[in-house]
């Protein structure tokens, strides 16, 4: 009888000791980890979009589009889905390279709806605006580029040609390859202000390369 009482006492003490010194933490309340991560990603993505969609100013008179009228002037050029689908990317890039301009950024992407709407915001009142946004975001990528060099904005517009291919010079991209306004292959900044906005919208400053091509002195000198 005494032995039974002793064994019962030891078992009780053992259980109490185990509870007192257990290192297993109590179960924490469940949280929706996946939902929290998704929300965090969405917030971070929107913050990045808000940061990059506005013009980015650098030091002094120079913006992300360089300095107007100098060899640092930059223009935003985009090959549209029809140009990509027709495999004209190489030919279009060659036009700017052969003219002597410097490629400082290039990437292929399918624009988001928000990016396309912001890029074409100045056309938002036009009846073709919804179909234009739908076309740019259709799934076929665009090729976004930044070109640099003296008067690259004005000269770039000449390389590209008039908006209506019927009015474009025969030697321009649109004059040679395009037929209709709705599929005119390419976009290029039409002014320094629009270049500043568009480059800042499509590229972060760290995506723009700073270098000097070996042929630069043979292209950009004024004397």
What is the distance between the alpha carbons of residues 46 and 59, in angstroms, rounded to a whole number?
A: 26
184 is in an annotated binding site: yes
Q: Are 166 and 178 within 8 A, CB to CB? A: no
DSSP for 112-151?
Answer: -HHHHHHHTGGGTTSTTHHHHHHHHTSSS-EEEEEEESTT
- Per the annotation, does 91 bind a ligand? no
In the 8-state DSSP scheme, what is residue 26?
Answer: P
In order of 31, 58, 61, 63, 66, the CA distances from 70 in angstroms are 57, 16, 12, 12, 8
> Is there a binding annotation on residue 68?
no
Q: What is the DSSP letter of 66?
A: B
Q: Which of 95, 102, 117, 187 is catalytic?
A: 187
187 is catalytic: yes
Backbone dihedral angles phi then psi of residue 181, each to the nearest 5 degrees: -65, -40
Is 80 labelled a binding residue?
Answer: yes
- C-alpha to C-alpha distance for 7 and 157, rounded to whole angstroms: 96
128 in a known ligand binding site:
yes
Binding-site residue positions? 80, 128, 157, 163, 174, 184
Residue positions annotated with a catalytic role: 187
Binding-site residue positions for ATP? 80, 128, 157, 163, 174, 184
């Amino acid at each position: 009888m005494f032995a039974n009482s002793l064994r019962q006492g030891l078992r009780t003490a053992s259980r109490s000791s185990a509870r007192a010194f257990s290192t297993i933490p109590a179960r924490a309340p469940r949280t929706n980890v996946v939902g929290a991560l998704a929300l965090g990603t969405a917030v971070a993505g929107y913050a990045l979009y808000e940061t990059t969609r506005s013009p980015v100013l650098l030091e002094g008179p120079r913006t992300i589009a360089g300095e107007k009228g100098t060899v640092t002037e930059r223009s935003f050029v985009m090959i549209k889905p029809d140009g990509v689908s027709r495999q004209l990317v190489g030919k279009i890039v060659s036009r700017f390279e052969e003219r002597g301009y410097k490629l400082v950024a290039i990437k292929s992407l399918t624009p988001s709806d928000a990016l396309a709407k912001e890029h074409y915001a100045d056309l938002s009142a036009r009846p073709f605006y919804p179909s234009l946004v739908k076309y740019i975001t259709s799934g076929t990528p665009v090729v976004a580029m930044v070109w640099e060099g003296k008067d690259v904005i004005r000269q770039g517009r000449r390389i590209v040609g008039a908006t209506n291919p019927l009015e474009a010079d025969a030697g321009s991209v649109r004059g040679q390859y395009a037929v209709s306004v709705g599929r005119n292959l390419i976009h290029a900044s039409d002014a320094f202000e629009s270049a500043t906005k568009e480059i800042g919208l499509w590229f972060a400053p760290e995506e723009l390369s700073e270098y000097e091509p070996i042929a630069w002195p043979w292209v950009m000198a004024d004397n």
